[in-house]
Amino acid sequence: MKTCPSYKRCHATYELAEEALIGAHIAYDYDKGSHPVGVYQCDQCGQYHLTSHGEVNARLQKMLNEGEIQKQREADWWEGKIRRR
Ligand SMILES: [Zn+2]
């Protein structure tokens, strides 16, 4: 995989970047402050990066609105508990 001069993490496709964006919101309980909200195609490497600027990604916004992020986070937490036993 090519590396980007911006040193940001590269995602080969929009879909993969979107997965990473949603995954990050499940992994970290973003409240205030800077956090990724969207995905953009980089004009330097042609791959996709997450951005904390601009509009909130539609799929992420929907999942936040429907409480799906919270639900996933709880599911992950339980899975972690079971695995650690
Ligand atoms: Zn790039």
SS3 of residue 46 by DSSP: coil
Distance between Cα 17 and ligand 1 center (Å): 12
Q: What span, in angstroms and rounded, lies between the C-alpha atoms of 48 and 69? A: 22
Per-residue confidence (pLDDT) for residue 56, from 0 to 100: 95
Cβ contact 36:21 at 8 Å: yes
Q: What span, in angstroms and rounded, lies between the C-alpha atoms of 64 and 79? A: 21
pTM to 2 decimals?
A: 0.84
Distance between Cα 81 and ligand 1 center (Å): 37
Spell out the domain ranges in the chain: 14-84
Per-residue confidence (pLDDT) for residue 65, from 0 to 100: 96
Question: In degrees, to the nearest 5, what angle opens at C-alpha 60 toward C-alphas 51 and 79?
Answer: 110
* pLDDT one-digit tens code per residue, 27-85: 988 877 789 999 999 999 999 999 999 999 999 999 999 999 999 999 988 888 877 65
User: With 80 as the cut, is the pLDDT of residue 5 above it?
Assistant: yes
User: With 90 as the cut, is the pLDDT of residue 17 above it?
Assistant: yes
User: With 80 as the cut, is the pLDDT of residue 23 above it?
Assistant: yes
Distance between Cα 72 and ligand 1 center (Å): 29
